[in-house]
Structure 1
Amino acid sequence: MKVLITGANGFVGKNLAVHLKERKDIEVLCAFRDDDPASLITKVAQVDFIFHLAGVNRPKDVEEFKAGNTDLTQQLADAIVASGRKIPLVYTSSTQAAQDNAYGLSKLGAEDVLTRLAATHGSNVYLFRLPNVFGKWARPNYNSAVATFCHNIARGLPIQINDPCAQITLVYIDDVVRHFVALMDGLKPDASFVTVEPQYEITVGDLSKTLHAFRESRNTLITEPVGKGLIRALYSTYLSYLPPERFTYEVPKYGDPRGVFVEMLKTPDAGQFSYFTAHPGITRGGHYHHTKTEKFLVIRGEASFKFRHIVTGEFYELHTSGEQPVIVETVPGWTHDVTNIGQEEMIVMLWANEIFDRAHPDTYALAVGDHA
C-alpha cells in the first residue's frame, strides 16, 4: 500500500510517518506546503490512502487561514477526482471548527469540501475534530501548553499560568496514530466524524504540578504512577523534551567497609528499588520485620541466606548465585541475613514493599546465628 501524508513535517505527521515506516507493507509519500499543485496531483495518483494533516493555524495574515486550510483541501479533493479512484482520506480538523472565528471557519470549510467529495465521488472520508494533541516532537511556545510546559520545566525555566483552574482536553499522539492506522487497515466507523479515545481532562494548574513532580522525582527518587493513563503519557512526553545533557542523574550511594548501598527508585504505593554490594565473607542484615517485606535477587556472586523464626527458633538456610536468577523473599517474623560466600564482590538487587521511614522503620536487630 502507498500512503500520502500532507504536512508530514508537522508534529502529528512526524509521529505518523515513523509508525508507518516501521511496517514492511507500507510505502510513505510526503507532500509539503511548498509543493506545486502538479506535484500534488502526481503523488495523489500513486497512492491508496491519504492522511491530510497539513494546515495553517498561526498565519501572519488572517487570509492565510482560508488558503492553507480550505483551499489546500480543495486542491487535494480535485486531485483525488482527477485520479479517477475513490481514494480514502483522513483529515485532521479541529474543535475550533465549531467556533465562529477565522481559523475555525477555514477548518469547517475544509470539512465541507471533503464531505462533498465523499457524497459526489465516493471516497471514504474520516474527519477528526481533534482537541489538544500532546506527545513527543510537538513544538514548544507555539500552540501546545503541554509542549511549552515540558520544554521549560525540563530545563528549569519558568512557565506562565494565567488561570490554574482552566480545564483543557487532551489526546495523546500515540492514540491519535492508533486510530489513524486502524482506519487505513480497514476499520469502518459508524460515522464520518471520528473521535479519538481516550480523552483526558486536566486543569492547567494540575498539569503544571504533575510535570514539576516529574522533575522533582530525580531529587526525591519518588516516581509518580507512570504506568497507565494520562500520567503515563505525560511522563513519556516530559522525558522527550529533556536535552541530551540531562538524560542522566546521580542517586545517593552509601558506603562502608562491607560494600555500598544505592537507592534507585521509590513509589508512593509500590515500595522502592535499590541494590547493595558485599565483599567476600561479609554478612548484611541480621534483623526482622513485623510487616515490611522484601525481595532479593543476586545478580553477581554467591550468597547464603539464613532465616530464623523469632519465636520458635526454627532455622532455614539457602544458597543462590548470579548464575541462576532466584528471588528470595523475607518473611515477617523471621530474622534474616545474607552472606557473600563467593570469591568476588556480590551484587544484590532489592525491592521493599514500602519506602523506608526512618521514624517508623519496622526493622529490629536480631542476629540469626548458625544452625545448632
Structure 2
Amino acid sequence: MKVLVTGSNGFIGKNLIAELEATTEHEILSYDRDTDVSLLDSYCEKADFVFHLAGVNRPETEAEFMMGNFGFTSTLLATLKKHNNSCSVMISSSIQAELSNPYGESKKAGEDLLKAFSNETGADVLIYRFPNVFGKWCRPNYNSAVATFCHNITHDLPIMVNDPEVMLNLVYIDDVVKELTRALDGKENRQGNICEVPTVHTIKLGDIVTLLESFKVSREERSIPNMVDAFTKKLYSTYLSYLPEDQFSYPLKMNVDQRGSFTEIIRTPDRGQVSVNISKPGITKGNHWHHTKNEKFLVVSGTGVIRFRNLNSDKVIEYFVSGDKMEVVDIPVGYTHNIENIGESDMVTVMWVNEAFDPEIPDTYYLEV
C-alpha cells in the first residue's frame, strides 16, 4: 500500500513511520510542514490510506488553531476529492473536541469535515480522539507534561506541579501505533462513531512525578522498579529515552581484592539482585550457606567447579562449569557451597540472588564445604 502520513515529523508520525518501515513493505508518503507543498497533490492522487496526524497544539495566536486543524484538513480532503480518491482517512483528534475552547473547537471542526467527506465520497473515515499521549520522541515543554517532566528531571532542571491530585488519562505511544497499524488492516477499535486506543492509563499527576523521581534515584542505587505494573514499565522506558547523550552510562562500585572482584549490577524490590563475580586462577570463593537466600550461578568466561554439601551430610557434590558451555547452576538453601577457578585465566560468573543484600539480615553463614 501507499500510505500518506501528514505530520510525519511529529511525535505520533515519527513513531508510526518507524514501525511501518520496520515491519511492513508499505510505501510511506511523508508530508510535514517543511515538505514541498506541490507533493501533496501527487500524494493524494496515489494514496491507498491516509493517516492525518498534522495539527496545531501550541500556536502563537488562537486563530492558528482553526487554520492548522481545520484549514489544512480542508485542503487535504479537497485534494483527495480532486483525484476522486475515496481511500480510508484516519484523523488525529482529541478528547478536547467535546469542549468549548479554541483548540477543541478546531479539532471538532476537522472531525466534521471528515464526516462530510465520508458522506460525499463513501470513504471510510476513522476519527481518533486521543487523550494525553506519552512515549519516546515527544517534545518537552510543548503540550505533554510527561515529556516535560522526563526532560527536566533527567537534565536536573526544576519542575512545576500545580495540582498533584489532578487525574490524567494517558495512552502510550506504542499502544497508539499498534492501534493505528490495526486500523490500516481494517481492524480498528470503534466505539460508535469514534475510534479509540483500547489501553488507557489513569493516574494522578503527583504519582507520575513520584515515579519519575524514583527512576532518577534508581540509577544511583543500581535498582530498577517493579515492572509488574504496565504503566510503570512504559513510563520507565519513556524516562530513559530522555537521558542526556553523555549520561547513558553510570559507574558501579567494584569490590576488589587479591582474589578478584565482586560487583553488584542491578537490584530490584521484588526479584532480587544481579552481580558479576571475577575470580583469579586458583581462587575459591564462598564456603557459606543460607536459610532463605537462593542463587543462580552462570559462568560466562573461564573454567571452574561449584561444590555443594548438605549441612546434614558429608557428601560433596561437584558441578564443573565453563564459559564454553554455559549452564545455570541453582544454589539451594541449606547447602554450603563454593566456586573455584580451576582454569588459567580469570573466571567470570554472573550471579542472581532472590533478594537484595541487607547487611542487617545477611542470611549468610560461613562453613567449609
Q: Which residue is equivalent to 2:212?
A: 211
> Which amino acid in 1 is paired with 2:326?
P
Cα distance in 1 for partners of 2:168, 2:99 equals 16
Deviation, structure 1 residue 38: 5.0
Deviation of 1:116 (Å):
1.2
Q: Report the 3-state secondary structure (helix = DSSP H, G, I; strand = E; otherwise coil) of the residue aligned with 1:262.
A: strand
SS at match of 1:50: strand
1:35 Cα deviation from its structure 2 partner: 5.5
Equivalent positions of 1:78-157 (< 5 A) are 78-157=78-157
Q: For structure 1, list consecutive stretches of 5 or more residues without a partner in the other structure.
A: none
1 CA distance for matches of 2:78 and 2:311? 83
CA distance in 1, matches of 2:38, 2:224: 53
Alpha-carbon distance in structure 2 between the residues aligned to 1:22 and 1:311? 58
Aligned partners of 1:335 and 1:366 also within 8 Å? yes
1:249-264 mapped onto 2 (5 Å cutoff): 249-264=250-265
Matched, 1:330 2:336: no
Matched, 1:232 2:233: yes
- Which residue does 1:342 correspond to in 2? 343
Q: Secondary structure at the match of 1:22?
A: helix
| Residues 33-42 or 140-149, more deviating | 33-42
Question: What is residue 65 of structure 1 aligned with on the other side?
Answer: 65
CA-atom RMSD in angstroms? 1.4
Deviation at 1:189, TM superposition (A): 4.5
Structure 2 counterpart SS, 1:177: helix
Distance 2:36 2:253 in 1: 58
Structure 1 Cα separation of the partners of residues 269 and 80 of structure 2: 54
Which amino acid letter does the alignment assign opposite residue 168 of structure 1? L
Identity %: 44
Counterpart check, 1:352 vs 2:366 = no
The amino acid that maps onto 1:16 is L
Displacement of 1:39 after TM fit?
3.8
Partner of 2:293: 292
The 2-side partners of 1:340 and 1:284 are apart by 9
- Conserved 8 A contact 2:276-2:348: yes
Q: What's the TM-score, normalizing by structure 1?
A: 0.96
Q: Write the distance in 2 (CA, Å) between the matches of 1:227 and 1:188.
A: 27
Match of residue 366 from structure 2 = 365
Alpha-carbon displacement from aligned partner over 1:279-335 (angstroms, at most 9, x marks no partner):
111100000111110000011111111111112333211211111011111111111
Matches within 5 A, 1:180-329: 180-187=180-187, 189-190=189-190, 191-226=192-227, 229-329=230-330
Where structure 2 has 5 or more consecutive residues not aligned to the other structure, the ranges are none
Relative distance call for 1:349 and 1:34 in structure 2 (3 A) is closer
- Alignment-mate amino acid for residue 307 of structure 2: K
Alignment of 1:162-177 (within 5 A): 162-177=162-177
In structure 2, relative to structure 1, the CA distance for the partners of 1:268 and 1:39 (3 Å cut) is: same
